[in-house]
Amino acid sequence: MRLSLIRPSDMHVHFRDGAMLRDVVPQTAAQFRRAVVMPNVPPIETADDARAYERKIREAAGDAAFRPLMTLKLTHRTTPAMIRDARDVAVAAKLYPAGVTTASHDGIGDPDDPGLLAVFEEMQRVGMILCIHGEAPDAFVLDREATYLDVVRRIVGRFPGLKVVMEHITTAASARYVEEEAPARIAATITVHHLVHTLDDVIGKGGIRPHHFCYPVPKRPEDLRALRRAAFHSTSGRIFFGSDTAPHPKGAKESACGCAGVYSAPVALPTLVELFLESGREDAIRRLEAFASTNGPRFYGLPVDESDTISLEDGPWTVPAEMGGVVPFRAGETIPWRVA
Ligand code: NCD
Ligand code: ZN
């Protein structure tokens, strides 16, 4: 069997730099129309950084149709002028609370800092989206996302024209906030691994699974159910796919202090097809199209070309144990769908 859908866009990726960038970019470029490129590794703080990084990604992609969408990393060094300068090259700027994840040591310490508020003001003025890694670094790990929701609410309340994407949500509370409480200019991404895992799949099933470890950590079964409900059934247009594909070398994950991040790009789309078909909906593939192909670009104000499609075919595919020194999501598993 073969099925076809509007070519998806991945609204949250980590491409890294150097040899790893050259290995991972083609995986995303081969499947996705666009990708929103996170600015943590290497750090992208200025318009010039973003332009140089975009050039490298385009070279590595080798496919002129693939469009990297660049973002800036917010620090306490960011100024309104830096936002203004970057308005033509960066679609968004990313708030990492300081110390919360990979390469965020110089992220935002004080979300109420007047300098930062001036930056948000300028983002609102020029129409730059704010992407938020919504975890409070000092809270207990399972409460981090719920705790930071208060900061998100405060930012949303202060800047009535600012568009906000809550990245990689992992809790029922976040899904409820976006769907039932927040204004229409607030959206959320959901990863594929957070549609599969609970914390049990990281530490609760006979051992520690370092390749399932990421921030925010997957939560409870009821959270997983709420995320699936949002991904499969939401009609708000404000829930969309961002893989958070985050490669780290095998040795850096299989370590006494292992890095956070799941490298999902090679299997994200086949896994989404599998999950949506399992949802039992007759219109599963059209729902997947909304989640992965149209909601994200539309929220970002980008056109959707319905004639640009991708095909998947059934027939077992065994995911490689390792790709360029990185262990992908579902490594070694034989899975039912593959990109044709
Ligand atoms: C990401 C990374 O490695 O860059 N890691 C992760 O666990 N998701 C950063 C991030 O998005 O938190
Ligand atoms: Zn990320």
The residue to which tokens 């890694």 are assigned: 133
Residue 128 phi, psi dihedral angles, 5° rounding: -95, 135
Among 12, 40, 96, say which to mutate for ligand 1: greatest number of ligand atoms within 8 Å of CB: 40
Contacts of 286 (CB under 8 A, 6+ apart): none
Point out the ligand nearest to the CA of residue 99. 1
The residue to which tokens 């800036």 are assigned: 72
Quote the ligand 2 centre to 213 CA distance (angstroms).
13
Point out the ligand nearest to the CA of residue 36. 2
Q: How far apart are the first and last CA of the chain?
A: 11
Among 15, 21, 95, 101, say which to mutate for ligand 1: greatest number of ligand atoms within 8 Å of CB: 101
Average pLDDT over residues 64-81: 97
Query: Which residues, judged by CB distance below 6 Å to any ligand atom, belong to the binding site of ligand 1?
Result: 14, 40-41, 101-102, 133, 214-215, 244, 246, 260-261
Where are the alpha helices (H) located in the chain, listed in sequence order?
A: 18-29, 47-61, 80-86, 114-126, 144-158, 172-176, 200-203, 221-233, 250-253, 268-278, 284-289, 295-299
Quote the ligand 1 centre to 5 CA distance (angstroms).
28
**What is the spatial distance between Cα 245 and Cα 25, in angstroms, rounded to a whole number?**
11
Residue 8's pLDDT is 98
Quote the ligand 1 centre to 283 CA distance (angstroms).
32
Q: Distances in Å between the alpha carbon of 38 and those of 32, 35, 165, 233, 332?
A: 16, 9, 13, 27, 28
59 has pLDDT over 90 = yes
Residue nearest to atom 11 of ligand 1 (CA): 244
Q: Please tell me whether residue 98 adopts helix, strand or coil conformation.
A: coil
Q: What is the enclosing helix (H) or strand (E) of 6?
A: strand 2-6
Percentage of residues of the chain with pLDDT beyond 70: 100
Q: What is the dihedral of CA 289, 126, 95, 134, to 10 degrees?
A: -50
**What is the spatial distance between Cα 98 and Cα 75, in angstroms, rounded to a whole number?**
9
Indicate the pLDDT class of residue 305, thresholds 50, 70 and 90: very high
**What is the spatial distance between Cα 92 and Cα 300, in angstroms, rounded to a whole number?**
9
Question: What pLDDT, in 10s, does the model give residues 127-184?
Answer: 999 999 999 999 999 999 999 999 999 999 999 999 999 999 999 999 999 999 999 9
Residue 63's pLDDT is 80
Tokens of 77: 């060094």
Residue nearest to atom 9 of ligand 1 (CA): 102
Average pLDDT over residues 22-45: 98
Residue 264's pLDDT is 98
Question: Which of these, 68, 60, 26, lies nearest to 302 by C-alpha position?
Answer: 68
Q: Sign of torsion, CA 22 311 270 335? A: negative
Question: What pLDDT, in 10s, does the model give residues 223-254?
Answer: 999 999 999 999 999 999 999 999 999 999 99
From the CA of 248, give the closest atom in ligand 1. Answer: 3
162 with 123: CB under 8 angstroms?
yes
Indicate the pLDDT class of residue 37, thresholds 50, 70 and 90: very high
Point out the ligand nearest to the CA of residue 71. 2
64 has pLDDT over 90 = no
Percentage of residues of the chain with pLDDT beyond 90: 99
Tokens of 295: 């909601």
Average pLDDT over residues 305-326: 97
Among 36, 102, 168, 213, say which to mutate for ligand 1: greatest number of ligand atoms within 8 Å of CB: 102
Average pLDDT over residues 31-41: 98
Residue 310's pLDDT is 98
Residue nearest to atom 4 of ligand 1 (CA): 102
Beta bridge partners of 3: 312
Quote the ligand 2 centre to 2 CA distance (angstroms).
31
315 has pLDDT over 90 = no
Quote the ligand 1 centre to 215 CA distance (angstroms).
6
Point out the ligand nearest to the CA of residue 189. 2
116 with 107: CB under 8 angstroms?
no
State the greatest distance between any 2 C-alpha atoms of the chain, in Å, as a whole number: 57
Question: Which of these, 335, 320, 312, 324, lies nearest to 8 by C-alpha position?
Answer: 312
Quote the ligand 1 centre to 101 CA distance (angstroms).
6
Question: Please, what is the average pLDDT of the chain?
Answer: 98
Where are the alpha helices (H) located in 112-208, listed in sequence order?
A: 114-126, 144-158, 172-176, 200-203
From the CA of 12, give the closest atom in ligand 1. Answer: 11
Q: Sign of torsion, CA 159 14 58 27? A: negative
